[in-house]
Amino acid sequence: MAILADEKTRIIVQGITGREAAAATRDSLEYGAKVVAGVTPGKGGAEVYGVPVYDTVQAAVEAHPADASVVSVPAAFARDAAMEALETGIRLVVILTERIPRRDVVEVTTRAREREARVVGPNSLGLISPDRTRVGMVGGRAADVRKAYMRGPVGIQSRSGGMTTEIANLLTQHGIGQSTCVSIGGDPIVGSTYVDLMPLFEADPETRVMVIFGEPGGGRFADEMPGVRFGHAAAIVEGEQGSTRGKIARLRQAGVLVAEEFSEIVELVRQSLG
C-alpha cells in the first residue's frame, strides 16, 4: 500500500486555471490520477482538460467529493485557499506555492492539526505513489514520471522536488522501485517534516527502506568556514551547531546509513533490503 494517497484518492486543484496548475492537471490525468474538480474564483463553469471548474471548494466537493487538494495560487492567497480546503473536510492539502508568509503557514498547519488533516508543503512539488497516483507536479510530464518512477519497497523524502525524482530515477535504473515519494517542501516552515512522515512509512507494509535527501548544513564547505552562517532550504549553520559533520555523526550513532556520494545510495539501499 502507499501512504497519504493511492489510486482511489480523489483530487481537486485550487488555482487550476493558472498555467502551471493546468499543465500539472493534464500530466496527472495522463498518469492516472483522479483529478475530479478545480477551483478558481470567478471561473466557475469552465473546464481544464475536461476537469470542471468551480468558484469555491465547497461547490467543488459538493459536486465531486474529494480527499486531497493541490494548492497552486499566488502566495498572498495561499493561506485562504488552504484554509478553505481544510474547512470543507479535505484531509490532505499539498501546497505548491512558495514564499508564503510564515505566519500564514503556521496558521494553516495549526488548523490542519485541529482538523486532523495533513499538509505537505509549502514550496513542495507534491507526492507520488508510483503506478497509482500523483498529487501535485513532482516528476513533471507523465511520460517522464513513468520513466523515473516504478513501484517497489523504497520510500523517499526530500526537501527538493527535483532531488525526489533524481533519487527515484537512480533507483529505478537499478531495478529498485518506490512505495511513496514525498517532496516535503523547501520553505523554512512546512506542514509535514521528515519526522512527521516517518511513522507513516514505518507502518506501511510495502515500505522496507527509506531514503531521506536533505541539505545537512548547506554542504561540507560550511564546516570549513567557522563563524559563517549559512541558510538554504531551511538549513542554518553557526559554528558546529547544525554542521554537516555533526549531523552525520549523530545519524550514524543512531544506526542510519549515510551516503558520502550520491552514487552510493543504490548500494546502501540494497544493503538495507538484505
- Residue range 30-69, pLDDT digits in tens: 999 999 999 999 999 999 999 999 999 999 999 999 999 9
How many CB atoms are located within 10 Å of the residue 250 CB?
Answer: 11
261 secondary structure, DSSP code: S
Mean pLDDT over the full length of the chain = 92
Structure confidence at residue 228 as a pLDDT band (50, 70, 90): low
Stated as kind and residue range, the H or E segment containing 108 is helix 102-114
**Grid coordinates given for 91:** 484531509
Buried b (16+ CB within 10 A) or exposed e, 128-139: bbbbbbbbbbbb
- Residue range 126-154, pLDDT digits in tens: 999 999 999 999 999 999 999 999 999 99
Q: How far apart (Å, rounded) are the C-alpha atoms in residues 117 and 235? A: 26
- Residue range 139-194, pLDDT digits in tens: 999 999 999 999 999 999 999 999 999 999 999 999 999 999 999 998 989 999 99
Structure confidence at residue 217 as a pLDDT band (50, 70, 90): very low
Residue whose C-alpha is closest to residue 33's, from 55, 11, 13: 11
Domains present along the chain, CATH in parentheses: 10-213 (3.40.50.720), 216-273 (no CATH)
> Known catalytic residues?
232
Q: How far apart (Å, rounded) are the C-alpha atoms in residues 82 and 100? A: 12
Between strands 133-136 and 126-129, the pairing is antiparallel
CB 12 within 8 A of CB 38: yes
Residue 102: exposure state from Cβ atoms within 10 A (0-12, 13-18, ≥19): exposed
Alpha helices in 115-216 (DSSP H): 142-148, 161-173, 194-203
